[in-house]
Structure 1
Amino acid sequence: MLSAALRRRALAPTRCALRAGFTPHVVRYYASFPDHQVVKMPALSPTMQAGNIGAWQKKPGDSIAPGDVLVEIETDKAQMDFEFQEEGVIAKILKESGAKDVPIGSPIAVLVEEGTDLSAFEKFTLEDAGGDAKSAQPKEEKSESQPNEASAPEPSPEPEQYAPSEGKLQTALDREPNASPAAKRIAREKGISLDGVKGSGKGGKITEEDIKKLSSSPAVASPGATFEDIPISGMRKTIASRLQESVQKNPHFYVTSSISVSKLLKLRQALNSSAEGKYKLSVNDFLIKAMAAACKKVPMVNSSWRDGSIRQFNTVDVSVAVSTSSGLITPIVTGVDARGLESISTKVKELAKKARENKLKPEEYQGGTISISNMGMNNAVDHFTAVINPPQAAILAVGTTKKVAVPVESEDGTTGVEWDEQITVTGSFDHKVVDGAVGAEWIRELKKIIESPLDLLL
């Protein structure tokens, strides 16, 4: 069932695995239960410390084969499928759907070989699997306090009778409501507090029906309530943290320009008409290609701030902002400078589809050298500014297309007006990396390229 290398590591003592920094997703145990393996919460992104359990795709008794999706896991970046790489039968699920902030390495399920008696695992608990892993917490800084502590005399210990109890009182205060997983999930979705709810289940357990009755009752809403607290997903926490960090640590400056897209729109129409359904180019596809061309002209914009240096990239990997039901994510079109418009268009559509279905792999949204955020589909948005996606140094914000009256002079010297289709773009730049004149030069090159779109075909 296990490969030879994984079997050797899985059978090694736990302390050795910790010392080596290795956290296996599957560990074999021999105890009072039949031979079994504990499936642990995997690390699905480099920054992930804990995850939320989504929908289980397998239930106890189901067989699983390499490549099968075991469970959906919400990481700090996105919701992803945990594809299992072993074969066997699911004997027990230890973390139900809806479980929040499960630390990496915590047991989530039990796997056995075909033919194992599953009834032996009915009373198997999380503690039998070793309990939850400890969350990775930042170490408290003691460098400043240690010298003071060393010089001060040690205080006399408090008498034992005054020591706070860590027993029954603490357990009673911290105990979770006695509710079924389904009841907890529905209560969380509807914003219902389980405190004080009387359960109709065995031993007073709160059931799914109890919550449904509460949610349909007008008594659930407090009289005069004027707000609703919405639970924050792991993805929303990450978005908030990264953007706050970006605004605080990256001195933004902005350069705005109105750009004619009349020629670009005509070229787009001509190319799509001759494509015979093979592809359908969008304005965004042209803009992504134009950004790469501008980065080749002004490479400092295609850079990132690193401790002690500025890293300038040789290829242009464009992060494309995609709005999903769970938040904003920026999948990456790699090597845009070497791609044609058809390749860019195909890749953008593929990544956007995977993003909305929560199917992106980490390598498809981690990295990137520059970003684009396009609100052009909303005709109410003339222009806007975007927050830089760290550690990148620039992001382009694109507004909707507007018809603008432009004065023109004819050959006989008379003046008139022509209608020109224009977009307003705003570049946000990190002043640590990009000087004002450099950002302005990049916008000028971008404008020249977009207004002469045939150059993008060369």
Structure 2
Amino acid sequence: MASFAGASRMSVRLVARRVAQDASRGFRSSAAPMAAHNFTMPALSPTMTEGNIASWKIKEGDSFSAGDVLLEIETDKASMDVEAQDDGILMKIIQGDGTKSIQVGSRIGVLAEAGDDISSLELPADEAKASKPEPKKEEAAAPPVSGQAPAAASGKRQPNKSGKKAEPQKYPLYPSVAHLIKENGLDDAAVSEMTPTGPQGRLLKGDVLAYLGSISEKRPAEIKARFDHNSHLDLSNIKIAAPKEAPAAKKSGAAPSAPVVEDLIVSTPISFHKVVEVQKRIEETIGTFLPLSTFITRATEMANDELPLASNYKPTADELFNQVLGLDKVNPTTSRGYYMPQVAALPTPSLMGVAPKPARSPAAKVDLIDFLAPTPKKTKPVTSQQTTAGVTVSGLNVFSLAVPAAEKKRADAFLQRVKMLLEADPGRLVL
């Protein structure tokens, strides 16, 4: 937002007039009416020379407070709002909405102080057209407003001319510096006599005030010296530490080895009972036998899709931003796994520490004819625990993975998916 430079400049003049009126009340028969002050087109950038009034945001007679937007100004680069720095009243609009090519410093309105009766105020003359009058004695005696530099025309202080020519400014003047120079009526010759103390030889507001005599001539140089001193680290007292000695080797002479992180074994039992039934149905229907490896490979491939992330996963910047917004709860981040389980047959229930008890059959009566007859050869029946290449065909099998501790939850999710695919509906694995 642009600064309200015109109001602050005229506030000094208004205070001086009020003090002069208070001082002269004892010599006049009636109090003189207070004068309003002009509001000129502000310079919104160091290179701005003219602007257009897009629209006024308040009307004539309206009061405003500090921070309120008074009007919108357009330049060839942008549109900006002009805010009020103090409370006041818009007494008169000189340049209305849509006025084009208004020179910087030209009067565009008239402002009054907050609480003034604008019906008793006089319209000031247009300073851009009329020549500046000589300062009155009572105005010269008026004290300056706190925080404002006294005008050069007041005659209270003369510029401190060193006689040395400073180097030309390589960069545009700061807005505060350009405003102070313009307010005091200084020309380029005066600017060339000022000693810049800013970075890269730039002119600061303190340099202008020192030139005008408002502050000590040595003050800008003292501030610059302090900043230059604090901007560098004092390394004079820093000493280089002696290198640390290598730790003594163990008595055995063996070099210490890095700790080995052992992987966790994650496992779950899975039954192939449903898989065998699907095998039989496919063979009876189309005459094709599908081995168990086909079902296991397909279940492994499907279970590796969209697995949860490991606990040591480092999210990207986009993922961290989604966590702040809570989007990670809606669409959790997943990744594809590359697990290949080890399958081993689970032995008889004795693996669980319980030996099966043989069933007792009632004693059969021995027939004499059966006793004398030759004993027929008995064929060994195929049990449900028959194994093929270390895999129980229709019993329980152990699927296991060796993973780091950070991937335990991820590996458990994978094995549970494999278990669900092989035990619940293995038929969809070959569709």
User: Is the TM-score greater than 0.5?
Assistant: no
Q: Which structure: greater strand fraction?
A: 1
Q: Which has the higher Rg, Structure 1 or Structure 2? A: 2
